Amino acid sequence: MTARFERIALIGLGLIAGSIAHAARRGDLVGTLVGYARSEATRAKAAEIGLVDEVAATAAEAVKEADLVILCVPVGVMGAVAAEIGPHLKPGAILSDVGSVKQTVIDAVAPHVPDGVHFVPSHPVAGTEHSGPESGFATLYDGRFTLLTPPEGTDQAAVDHLAAFWRGLGANVEEMEPAHHDLVLAVTSHAPHLIAYTMVGVADDLRRVTHSEVIKYSAAGFRDFTRIAASDPTMWRDVFLNNKEATLEILGRFTEELFALQRAIRTGDGDTLHAYFTRTRAIRRGIIEAGQDTDAPNFGRGLPPK
């Protein structure tokens, strides 16, 4: 099964699209790369830095003749973009997206996919806190997982071709049910992001602790929250609005547990605290062993220069 596509159109030219572009070229997985983004500024920047071979003036124009079209826009506009490009998709083409939520994206996009076009939703579980056309890099997907959530009845050859492409970009590829995907990501990503945003908001608000103090003493744990909470507001607004149920369910569980630990603090129940803090270490070990993080203390920050 080939991993290559002759003509790929990227709609949206931010972190995820840019990293696809860099990695596709690194792997020689593409003939011609076409790109489109909403703003003139982003299109001009993408052209200037040669992120894609051709910058199109409209989304419709970008997808014409493309063998693979990937929607790399915020989750909330996937439906609108699909409606716009639907009529212009080439018969036999694969349409994909990289949205962080899958069920609502499928619901929004599928109605606009013409017969003969294969819709294979995907989600690369990798990212950084940066965004925009200059933030992408070729190694973003190396060793990370990309989840495909094809609706029942999707053409298997199309799924296999897209899977091979993502492997060529460096990713491990797995398939998952959309609803289960949304629950898993609520745990590993969406709830943690909301929590980090909230904690940073609390620090920002507190009058008795100055911003300067928060900044200077952030190395004690808080700065990791600020990195997560520096992510793009539009992307994250759309994620929460489109993964409501799962996110709210996980946050409900979270609050319940947090209250139990708060009670343990209030009553001086050290045993409960100690047992809780001990039990969670196995997950960290698993993550290190699975190559999904470094064991260098502090992610390697503050280590002796090599």
Find which of its own copies, ligand NAP, none residue 195 binds, CB within 5 to 8 Å per kind: its own copies
Tell me the HSE value of 136 on the side-chain side, using a 13 A CA sphere: 26
Alpha helices in 169-243 (DSSP H): 178-185, 191-205, 211-216, 222-228, 233-242
Nearer to its own copies, 155 or 222 (CB): 222
Q: Which residue has the tokens 């998709």?
A: 89
Find which of ligand NAP, its own copies, none residue 248 binds, CB within 5 to 8 Å per kind: its own copies
Nearer to its own copies, 19 or 96 (CB): 19
Q: Which residues of 86-101 are buried (b: 16+ CB within 10 A; e: fewer)?
A: bebbbeebbbbbbbbb
Could you tell me if 138 and 53 are in contact, meaning their C-beta atoms sit under 8 angstroms apart?
no
DSSP code at position 110: G
Distance CA 269, CA 152 (A): 51
Could you tell me if 114 and 89 are in contact, meaning their C-beta atoms sit under 8 angstroms apart?
yes
Nearer to its own copies, 2 or 292 (CB): 292
Reading the block at residue 205, the tokens are 């608000």
Distance CA 16, CA 28 (A): 18
Nearer to ligand NAP, 2 or 39 (CB): 39
Distance CA 48, CA 105 (A): 31
Q: How far is the CB of 271 from its own copies (least distance, A)?
A: 9
Q: How far is the CB of 105 from its own copies (least distance, A)?
A: 16
Find which of ligand NAP, its own copies, none residue 306 binds, CB within 5 to 8 Å per kind: none
Find which of its own copies, ligand NAP, none residue 119 binds, CB within 5 to 8 Å per kind: none
Nearer to its own copies, 111 or 277 (CB): 277
Residues that bind ligand NAP (CB under 6 A): 11-17, 37-39, 42, 72-75, 77, 81, 98-100, 123-124, 127, 131-132, 232, 235, 239
Q: How far is the CB of 239 from ligand NAP (least distance, A)?
A: 6
Find which of its own copies, ligand NAP, none residue 47 binds, CB within 5 to 8 Å per kind: none
Nearer to ligand NAP, 133 or 168 (CB): 133
Q: How far is the CB of 261 from its own copies (least distance, A)?
A: 6
Could you tell me if 182 and 21 are in contact, meaning their C-beta atoms sit under 8 angstroms apart?
no
- Measure Cα distances from 136 to 13, 21, 99, 131, 140 in Å: 9, 8, 16, 8, 8
Question: Residues 268, 262, 212, CA angle at the centre, nearest 5°?
Answer: 110
Q: How far is the CB of 298 from ligand NAP (least distance, A)?
A: 9
Find which of its own copies, ligand NAP, none residue 205 binds, CB within 5 to 8 Å per kind: its own copies
Nearer to ligand NAP, 3 or 55 (CB): 55
Find which of ligand NAP, its own copies, none residue 72 binds, CB within 5 to 8 Å per kind: ligand NAP
- Taking each helix axis from N to C terminus, what angle separates 244-267 and 233-242, rounded to the nearest 10 degrees? 100
Q: How far is the CB of 66 from its own copies (least distance, A)?
A: 27
Which helix (DSSP H) or strand (DSSP E) does residue 145 occupy?
Answer: strand 145-148
Nearer to its own copies, 91 or 208 (CB): 208
Find which of its own copies, ligand NAP, none residue 286 binds, CB within 5 to 8 Å per kind: its own copies
